[in-house]
A and B are shown apart, each in its own frame.
Chain A
Amino acid sequence: MKLWKRLMCTARRRSPWLFHMNSGSCNGCDIEIVAALSPRYDAEQLGVRLEGSPRHADILCVTGPVTQKAVNAVKTVYGQVCGPKAVIAIGSCPATTNVFIDSRTLVGPLDKHVPVDVYVPGCPPRPDAIIQGVAKAAGILAERGNTPPGSATAVATIAVEEAHQ
């Protein structure tokens, strides 16, 4: 039983499948997510796969400052991802709403609506920072297992300098 748990932990760490969701982003961060999967950065080395359906995903990558139009979709998609799951806020927008702060069309930041595990700041963040964020989220996922997300112990931020080293 213990062996199975350890195997499951390794498998969760080594096989993060992503679902990418745009909640009103300017498309800058979305391009960087695609760049992270491209030959130059090749996130598939870590077992990352960009999935078409949220049902298949482990990690929800949200970009954008969460507009009024998008907030219900974000909550629905978060519900559609099957547990155990993690959420990454990619870019400065979902973390702080960035330059759009105080806009009347926004209901962000993201952590008001769904529990966020990893923040990858940057406008847009570099692909290597995104890959590091995914690796960190996969680690959190492996440790946390089936316990509900959002507990304060598991929040990590990828410092921009750290990712650049």
Chain B
Amino acid sequence: MTILTALARLLIFPGLLFAVPAAWFFLWVERKAVALMQERVGPPFMQPFFDFVKLLGKDTPPRSGIAGLLMRAWPLIAVSAAAGAVGLLPVLPSSGGFEGDLILLLALLELPSVCIIAAGFSSRSIFGEIGSAREAALSVSYNIVFLLAIVSIAASQHTFRLEALATMHPSFLTVLGILAILICLPAKLHINPFSLPNAEQEIYAGPMTEYAGPELAMWELSHGLEWVAGVGLVATLVAPHFAIAWGGAWLAACIFVTISIAAVLLLSTLAAATARLAIDTSVRFYWQCTLIFAVLAISSALFVRFRS
């Protein structure tokens, strides 16, 4: 991958130029889907964009010292990590990539969550600290399943290269792995039933309680970009590889967007249909119910690998 194609992927497609409007669109789809499920009309199409612009024009409370500097830095790090994760997705055929870019993608996907934990603690608000502690506990629970699912897919294909995974032939193991990723996504995106880190009203706004203005706008954007990266990862794994051979780049991009929207609709419907779980129930769900399947998936992947 040359520097030019890397920059094009990071800045144009599927990077910032595509990902930022897509992030707003997915945030709107999420809110609209919840509204429709509750028989409401819901927010207008441009709502997330207006929210973003309005937040850019608001004041921020005065902050001084290292804590203030850190509080300003966390949302920026989260946004750049999420944008980088979207840029790594192998949407277009023969778009390059390198051996082990899956590991980089996982690290970048994890960074916003680490930033949220750090932001809550550096805001020194009691609600922020509770939210961060919950986020940390939740992150330890779902990440085991998430990583095991991805590793089982990668082990069954003998590669950590995203492009090879995007063009793999579907098998029982990969379907199991994708299902496990889908189960982890609500926790990764903090939506119901795993919305407890930023449990609105219950602990004010969780780690975001002290954030205002442009910093909050960056958090909203990073949340949207996490949506794009999370469902984008599922979309690249699910997308049929023959589409690339048939229709080239445009068809591949269209299929990517369609599957992403379908995944967003699925997750928003789940969010609208469920209530928030308590922290012990969520942790137990991932450690007791889901972990068994993840361990089964990885052990069978390793078994298949050693037999072949």
- Give A contacts to B, CB under 8 Å: 7-8, 10-12, 14-15, 17, 39, 42, 44-45, 47, 50-53, 55-56, 58, 80, 82-84, 146
Contacts and interface: CB of A to CB of B under 8 A. Distances in A.
Listed residue (B53, B60, B208) with the most chain A CB atoms within 10 angstroms of its CB: B53
Given A11-B54, A44-B35, A47-B51, A55 B43 contact: no
Contact of A56 (B44, B57, B212): B212
B43 A52 contact: no
A58 B54 contact: yes
14 contacts: A14-B47, A14-B54, A44-B35, A44-B42, A47-B44, A50-B201, A52-B204, A52-B209, A53-B208, A53-B209, A56-B212, A82-B61, A82-B212, A83-B59
Contacts of B42: 42, 44-45
Nearest to B61: A82
Given A10-B50, A11-B54, A56-B216, A45 B44 contact: yes
A44 B43 contact: yes
Q: Which 7 A/B pairs are nearest by Cβ-Cβ distance?
A: A11-B53, A53-B205, A11-B54, A55-B212, A42-B40, A82-B212, A52-B205
Contacts of B46: 14
A12 B44 contact: no
A44 B28 CA distance: 12
B53 A56 contact: no
Interface string B100-130: 0000000000000000000000000001000
Contact of A15 (B40, B51, B60, B204): B51
A82 B59 contact: yes
B35 A82 contact: no
Interface in B248-287: none
A142 to B, nearest CB: 9
A25 B99 CA distance: 63
Contacts of B54: 8, 11-12, 14-15, 58
Nearest to B199: A52
A12 B57 contact: yes
A80 B127 CA distance: 15
A56 B210 CA distance: 8
Contacts of A8: 53-54, 56-57
Interface in B210-226: 210-213, 216
A38 B196 CA distance: 22
A14 B44 contact: yes
B169 interface: no
B276 to A, nearest CB: 13
A55 B209 contact: yes
Interface string B165-200: 000000000000000000000000000000000001
Contacts of B204: 52-53
Contacts of B213: 82
Given A11-B50, A52-B200, A82 B58 contact: yes
B33 to A, nearest CB: 13
Nearest to A55: B212
A39 B39 contact: yes
Contacts of A50: 201
A49 B149 CA distance: 36
Contact of B53 (A7, A53, A58): A7
B304 interface: no
Contacts of A80: 61
B210 A55 contact: yes
A47 B49 CA distance: 11
A86 B251 CA distance: 49
A7 B44 CA distance: 16
A24 B192 CA distance: 32
A27 B194 CA distance: 30
B53 A55 contact: no
A7 B43 CA distance: 18
Interface in B12-71: 31, 35, 38-44, 46-47, 49-51, 53-54, 56-61
A10 B203 CA distance: 31
